[in-house]
Amino acid sequence: MSDQILHFTNELMSSWWIYLALWGFAALDGFFPAIPSETLVVTAGVFAASTGEPNLYAVIAVAAIGAFVGDHVSYALGRGAGGRLLDRVKPGTKRHAAVLWARRSLAERGGLVLVVARYVPGGRTAVTLTMGSVRYPLRKFSTFAALAAASWGLYCTLVGYIGGKAFEDNPLKGVVLGIGLALAVTVIVEVVRHRLRKRHDSQAQVEPQLEEAGTR
C-alpha cells in the first residue's frame, strides 16, 4: 500500500500539474482555510530534496505567488461583505477567537500582524478579511502580503526540504517529519501568542487600578 502511495506521489510531484496545484491550493487557502496548502507545499519540499522534482525554487515562488493572490481575494471579500460575515461568527469558537485576535492585533501593530498570522490557525483569513472590512490601505496591505507570502512559501518549502534530506530513501517519512516540524512551529507560536495576550490583559487590568490609586 505504501509503495502505491509513494508511486502515485512521485508521479504527481514530477508532473507540471504540481505547480498549478501548489498555486491553486495556496490561493484558495487565503479565503477557504480548510484547504491543506501547507501540507502540499511541505510535501513538495520533501520530494524536491529526495528526488529533485519538483524544482525547489519553483515551489517557493509558486506557493508564494498563490498565497499573495489568495490574500488579495480575501481582502476584496472583506471590503465587500466581509465585515458582516465576521460579525456572524459564533462567539466561543476558535474562528471567533481568531477574529478577535485579528482585530486587536491590527489595531495595535498594523500590517506586521499579517506576517505573524501566517502561523496562527485561522489567523490568515481573519486578518485579511478584517483588513478589507476596515479599509486598510491597499498599497500597504500589498507590501505586507508580499512579505508574508514570501516568508510562508520559503518556510514551508524548507521545512519539507529538511524532512526530505533526513529521509532521502523514504520520502513518506520525510513528509511526516516535515509536517511534524510545521505543527511544532505552529504550537510554539500559539503558546507565545497566548502568553503575550495574558500579559497584555493583566497589564490592562492593573493600569486602571494604579491610576485610581494615584488620584486618591
Render each residue's pLDDT in the chain as its tens digit; 216 residues. 555 666 667 777 778 889 999 999 999 988 887 788 888 898 888 888 888 888 999 999 999 999 999 999 999 988 876 566 666 667 777 667 766 766 677 766 777 888 888 877 677 888 888 888 877 888 989 999 999 999 999 998 998 898 888 776 776 677 777 777 777 766 776 666 667 666 655 554 444 443 444 455
- The predicted pLDDT at position 207 comes to 45
As given in the structure block, the three cell numbers for residue 116 are 505573524
pLDDT of residue 196: 61
> Which pLDDT does position 208 carry in this prediction?
47
SS3 percent helix, strand, coil of the chain, rounded to 5, is: 80, 0, 20
For 133, the domain range is 2-214
Q: Tally Cβ neighbours within 10 Å of residue 187.
A: 11
pLDDT at 150: 94
- How many C-beta neighbours within 10 Å does residue 112 have? 14
Number of domains making up the chain: 1
Axis-axis angle for helices 123-133, 138-166 (nearest 10): 170
Closest CA to 190 of 128, 123, 93, 92: 123
**Side chain identity at 210, as an amino acid letter?**
L
Predicted pLDDT at 68? 96
| Predicted local confidence at residue 136, as pLDDT | 83
Identify the pLDDT of residue 6: 62
Reported pTM:
0.73
35: exposed, middle or buried (C-beta count within 10 Å: 0-12, 13-18, 19+)? middle
- Judge whether 160 and 178 are in contact, CB under 8 Å: yes
Q: How many CB atoms lie within 10 A of CB 152?
A: 26
Three cell numbers at 147? 512579505
Instruction: State yes or no: cis peptide before 54, omega within 30 of 0.
Output: yes
pLDDT in tens, 81-112: 656 666 666 777 766 776 676 667 776 677 78
Q: For residues 135 and 94, what is the distance between their CA atoms, to the nearest angstrom?
A: 24
